[in-house]
Amino acid sequence: MKKVTGTIDYHKKVITIRNLYKSFGELVVLAGIDIDLYKGENLVVLGRSGTGKSVLIKIISGLLKPDRGDVFVLDKQVDRLQEKELRELRLKLGFLFQHSALYDSMSVRENLEFPLTRNVKNLTTAQINEAVEEVLDAVGLLDKINQMPAELSGGQRKRIGIARTLILKPDIMLYDEPTSGLDPITSIEINDLINEVQAKYRTSSIIITHDLTCAKATGDRIAMLLDGQFRKIGTFDEVFDTQDERIKAFYDYNFTE
Is position 150 within any domain?
A: no
User: For residue 219, what are the domain limits?
Assistant: 9-92+170-254
Q: Write phi, then psi, for 186 (nearest 5 degrees).
A: -65, -35
Determine the Cα–Cα distance for residues 47 and 114; give it in Å rounded to an integer: 33
Cα gap 36→139, rounded to integer Å: 28
| Residue 237 is assigned to a structural domain of this protein | yes
Tell me what pLDDT residue 257 has: 46
pLDDT of residue 188: 94
Which among 91, 92, 82, 89 is positioned nearest to 119, based on CA atoms?
91
Q: Is residue 108 part of a domain?
A: no
Q: What is the CATH number of the domain that holds 237?
A: 3.40.50.300
pTM of the model: 0.91
Q: Is residue 77 part of a domain?
A: yes
Identify the pLDDT of residue 251.
Answer: 79
Sheet-wide strand order for 9-24: 27-39, 9-24, 68-73, 76-77
Task: Report pLDDT for 122.
Answer: 87
pLDDT of residue 124: 93
Structural domains in the chain (count): 1
Under a CB-based contact definition with an 8 Å cutoff, are residues 198 and 205 in contact? yes
Is position 210 within any domain?
Answer: yes
Is 190 part of a structural domain of the chain?
yes
Kindly state whether residue 135 falls inside one of the protein's structural domains.
Answer: no
Give CA–CA dist 226/228, Å, rounded: 5
What is the signed CA dihedral for 251, 254, 256, 257, rounded to 10 degrees?
A: -40
Please give the DSSP secondary-structure letter assigned to residue 151. G
The SS3 of residue 243 is coil
CA distance 13 to 37: 6
- Which mean pLDDT values do the consecutive 10-residue runs of the chain (257 residues) have? 70 97 94 96 89 90 95 96 94 83 92 92 93 95 95 92 93 93 92 94 94 94 93 93 86 62
